[in-house]
Structure 1
Amino acid sequence: MSKFYFIFYSIAIFLSVHSFDRNDPINVFVIWLSLFSIYIISFRYLSDFTTKQILCLGILLRIVTVGAIPSLSDDFYRFLWDGYLVSHSINPFAFSPNEFLEQGVPVTEEALSLYRKMNSQPYYSVYPPLLQILFYLPWFFVLSFFAKIILLQFVLLCFETVNLSLIGGDKSKKKFWIYAGNPLVIIESVSQIHPEPILVFLILLSYRLFEAKKFVGFHFVFSLFLQIKLSLVFLIPGGFFLLPKKKRIFFIFAVCLSLTVLFFSLFSKLGNQASSGIGLFFHSFRFHSLFEFLIYFALSPFAEYTYLSGTIALIMGGTIYLFYLYAKNRNLNEAIFVGFLLMLLFSPVIHPWYTLPLFALLSSKIPYTGVFLVFSIFSGFSYLLYSIQYTFFSDFFFMIEGVSLFACIYGRACINYFRKKSQIRKGKNKTCGRSW
């Protein structure tokens, strides 16, 4: 029975990645509801499988998504556009797509098709040099459009296979399945061509190097975080304070070297990035924010200052993280997990795929793992915010998510508390009745 159930789950995943329509709220709701319902029930059957079999299931569920054209995100058009520029020895950070075409430089029909379909025509590329190498690969092999998609998905599938192997040895079956079988992780990691699997690999590798006290390798790998996602500068204190004091100077050197690479590439035109690049995530873009939502709401009476909500939120999150690191000695796993969690909680933008590393970092020492399962569910449903663009719906979504997460953390404790009080009251009433 359990084997047939997971075959059914694989078929559901396959059909879903070929059926999503981000602009249709009913389509998004029904598909995510169906997938998460199947996924939650699947926990009942985990006892029938070994960890190695769960690993194979996780790989299989990702393999069936290969070949689907991404439909939940159109970022891959920008990935391929940047790769096209690199293949023609053009700096992808020097021009926005609009500026590049305004120069009258002849481009292929395929590149024009990418330009028409991308959603970031006026914006500068925000993807660091290491990712640009990945984007260049399909053009290096001179492949068709569909083959380019397959190649990028295959590269990410390889990273996910390694990630599952690394995670499976450290987790209980249930915690492993939160990453291995989670429909959000499965779909966002490979089919939608987001680079988070590479980031997960680097984080897991940094753990291994740190535990083995191979600090030179740790410094190098940690510095590569910034070459995948610049926002992970947030995690630098977590690495710095947990290192032996004699090793910190080399850590700072590696991080500064990585930042120097970014300065002469991604930030070669700093003003452009501030106004129409990475700066947008601080002052203009907002999506599925949590604590930042509260700050934005508090600033709403002063409309001219609402653009500061993202910056204020991230400063607050960073300050809390520093206090956390200072308060008690932590191990690297805990420090990176908490740092990544705080970064998400205080970020003005939480796209569904941003959350993937969080589910890979869950450990046996982290309580309330159910809350992260619920968070993954709401991250999937956050796609509704694309198609239902009414302010009241965003507020309603935030309230329901907040209540659900709060209930996951405190719900059982509250129920037990009121149950005990009820029992005490019944006991008192019985005693009073007998004495009377």
Structure 2
Amino acid sequence: MDLKLLRLYKFPILIALSCVAFYWSFAYGLVREDFGRLVMLYTALCFLSYKLYKLLRHNFKFLVILAIIFRLIFLFALPELSQDYFRFIWDGQLIKAGINPYQFIPAEIANELDFPNTEVLLQGMGSLSAGHYSNYPPVNQLLFAVSSFLANSSQLLNVMFLRTLNILADLGILFFGARLLSNLGLSRDRIFLYILNPFIIIEMTGNLHFESVMVFFLVWSLYLLHNNRWIASAIVLGLSISVKLLPMLFLPLFFGYFLKSPKLSFVRLLGFYSLVILTLVISFVPFYSEEVMANFMVSVGLWFGKFEFNASLYYLVRWIGFQVKGYNIIETAGKILPLITFVAIILLTFLRKNGAMQSLQRSMLFGIVVYLLLSTTVHPWYLAIPLFLSVFTRFRFMLIWSLLVILSYSAYSNAQYDENLWLVALEYIIVIGYFLYELFLQKSSKPVD
């Protein structure tokens, strides 16, 4: 019987073993400056992972086991594609020492600290992070603190604890995502378009970006809301925002859902909003002071008015600015583009029917895609939420984007961190083109999983 099963599954097992080898190379034998090898490994993983999904999509348990194995490969590896984890450890050690992580700029207080690895963390996080206040919201800070208390000064142990938290968050996404898909009458195996996606495994588990925790709270909140537990849903959504602020973008979209649901109402909508905001406010209380809040808002504002990376429409606006004004108009564009995003969200709120969960999820997907297309900075891990939301829709352009976003790593292949704008253009031309194709030419067709 075992030999029969082995013959039956020999091709998927061969693919799975190839994925293990490629993930091992990512974790222990790759640096982000090696762009050519990075792209080849990643492209191969995307192709093989999709083949696994197609071959084994109805073998739920087997895919769960593979998803866990692929993540555990990274457990003992220090991230090579991102240096953000140095700041995570820094903030965690500050909290452990009784210092507010929002109060000081690392470069300004490094000489006053007696941490055993101060210089290593300072150099590791880079001058950009070391020169600004922390912009990670309170739930993130709580996770950093827990890791620092458990790991003391060990860099590897810190990484292992943080990585374990991300893996647990992904398992939570798998659990609630599959249940929500089933409740909506959709095939629960769709969740593996997210869980088995190499983009998620590498960026969240490998590179330690906490979008996994944010998405976990978001899907849990949507699951609770679909089951009419709006009070618990509001609290959990507040926690999601307190991991990363991005889900705040969705708040207006709940208007139609509450007003059109027979078991909800406008009064409960106000209660929902109040609980979300109250949860967020309470999470900030341990860190609160006027100075701290000002520092935090300054740090968040930098992403709109100072930083540029892997942008799309903004780069066109910037080019026009150079032609007309003769200089970079990022400060002006960084104020106007978010307003356009806000207007788009309001239009999605009142012009689309968001009374059903799937309608709400489509509007959330469209809203965050507009936000990303108008942003001045689009790091790869920002795609986690729209990729997750796309699983509940007929749209598959996010799978294309999760593949092509690896092109943004070309900036790290040179000492100046200069972007290859031809690769940026290629990324967005394909993604936007495929999205428009799905939107207008496949409107009535079934989704291709």
Instruction: Provide TM-score, normalisation by structure 1.
Output: 0.85
- Cα deviation code 1:20-47 (max 9, x no counterpart): 2112322323322332333344344235
**Which residue of 112, 116, 125 corresponds with 2:119?**
112
Q: Which whole-Å CA distance do the structure 2 matches of 1:4 and 1:34 have between them?
A: 14
Q: Which whole-Å CA distance do the structure 2 matches of 1:289 and 1:167 have between them?
A: 29
Q: Which letter maps to 2:322?
A: S
- Cα deviation code 1:60-111 (max 9, x no counterpart): 221222211111110000000000000011011110001222xx52412223
Q: Which letter maps to 1:268?
A: E
- Cα deviation code 1:171-190 (max 9, x no counterpart): 54773332122111111111
Structure 1 segment 56-75 matched on structure 2, within 5 A:
56-75=65-84
CA separation of 1:295/1:265 partners in 2, compared to 1, >3 Å: closer, same or farther?
farther
The aligned residue for residue 45 of structure 1 is: 55
CA separation of 1:207/1:368 partners in 2, compared to 1, >3 Å: closer, same or farther?
closer
- Cα deviation code 1:214-246 (max 9, x no counterpart): 111112112223211123322221234432201
Q: Which letter maps to 2:114?
A: V
Contact 2:166/2:204 (8 A) holds in 1: yes
**Which residue of 266, 271, 275 corresponds with 1:254?**
275
Give the gaps of 5 or more residues in structure 1.
417-436
Q: Which whole-Å CA distance do the structure 1 matches of 2:378 and 2:225 have between them?
A: 29
Which range is displaced more, 207-216 or 388-397?
388-397
Q: Which whole-Å CA distance do the structure 1 matches of 2:416 and 2:79 have between them?
A: 25
- Tell me the SS of whatever aligns to 1:279: helix
Contact 2:408/2:424 (8 A) holds in 1: no
Contact 1:291/1:313 (8 A) holds in 2: no
CA separation of 1:404/1:152 partners in 2, compared to 1, >3 Å: closer, same or farther?
same
CA separation of 1:410/1:403 partners in 2, compared to 1, >3 Å: closer, same or farther?
same
Contact 2:410/2:420 (8 A) holds in 1: no
The CA deviation at 1:207 is: 0.9
The aligned residue for residue 333 of structure 2 is: 309
Give yes or no for the alignment of 1:203 onto 2:218: yes
The CA deviation at 1:255 is: 3.5
Contact 1:223/1:258 (8 A) holds in 2: yes
Structure 1 segment 127-276 matched on structure 2, within 5 A:
127-143=136-152, 144-169=154-179, 170=181, 172=187, 175-243=190-258, 244-258=265-279, 260-261=281-282, 262=284, 265=288, 268-273=291-296, 275=298
Contact 1:128/1:266 (8 A) holds in 2: no
CA separation of 1:258/1:414 partners in 2, compared to 1, >3 Å: closer, same or farther?
closer
**Which residue of 68, 77, 80 corresponds with 2:86?**
77
CA separation of 1:150/1:412 partners in 2, compared to 1, >3 Å: closer, same or farther?
closer
**Which residue of 390, 393, 416 corresponds with 1:362?**
390
Q: Which letter maps to 1:337?
A: L
The aligned residue for residue 122 of structure 1 is: 131
- Tell me the SS of whatever aligns to 2:103: coil
Contact 1:85/1:92 (8 A) holds in 2: yes
The CA deviation at 1:191 is: 1.8
Give yes or no for the alignment of 1:327 onto 2:351: yes
The CA deviation at 1:300 is: 2.5
Q: Which letter maps to 1:110?
A: N
Q: Which letter maps to 1:80?
A: I
Q: Which letter maps to 2:321?
A: L
The aligned residue for residue 281 of structure 1 is: 303
* Larger RCO of the pair (alpha carbons < 8 Å, separation 6+): 1
**Which residue of 358, 374, 379 corresponds with 1:351?**
379
Which range is displaced more, 148-157 or 35-44?
35-44
**Which residue of 304, 308, 319 corresponds with 1:297?**
319
Contact 1:156/1:197 (8 A) holds in 2: yes
Q: Which whole-Å CA distance do the structure 2 matches of 1:311 and 1:193 have between them?
A: 30
Q: Which whole-Å CA distance do the structure 2 matches of 1:142 and 1:395 have between them?
A: 41
Which range is displaced more, 342-351 or 90-99?
342-351
How many corresponding residue pairs? 410
Q: Which whole-Å CA distance do the structure 2 matches of 1:409 and 1:247 have between them?
A: 35
Q: Percent identity?
A: 22
Q: Which whole-Å CA distance do the structure 2 matches of 1:42 and 1:259 have between them?
A: 40
The aligned residue for residue 8 of structure 2 is: none
- Tell me the SS of whatever aligns to 1:108: coil
Give yes or no for the alignment of 1:404 onto 2:393: no
The aligned residue for residue 339 of structure 1 is: 367
- Tell me the SS of whatever aligns to 2:86: helix
The aligned residue for residue 419 of structure 1 is: none
CA separation of 1:379/1:267 partners in 2, compared to 1, >3 Å: closer, same or farther?
farther
CA separation of 1:304/1:179 partners in 2, compared to 1, >3 Å: closer, same or farther?
closer
CA separation of 1:66/1:338 partners in 2, compared to 1, >3 Å: closer, same or farther?
same
The aligned residue for residue 31 of structure 1 is: 41
- Cα deviation code 1:329-380 (max 9, x no counterpart): 213323333333222222221111111122222245x3331x2111001112
Contact 1:202/1:224 (8 A) holds in 2: yes
The CA deviation at 1:18 is: 1.6
What is the root-mean-square deviation of aligned Cα atoms in Å? 2.7
- Tell me the SS of whatever aligns to 1:325: helix
Give yes or no for the alignment of 1:3 onto 2:4: no
Contact 2:194/2:200 (8 A) holds in 1: yes
The aligned residue for residue 432 of structure 1 is: none
Q: Which whole-Å CA distance do the structure 2 matches of 1:59 and 1:339 have between them?
A: 31
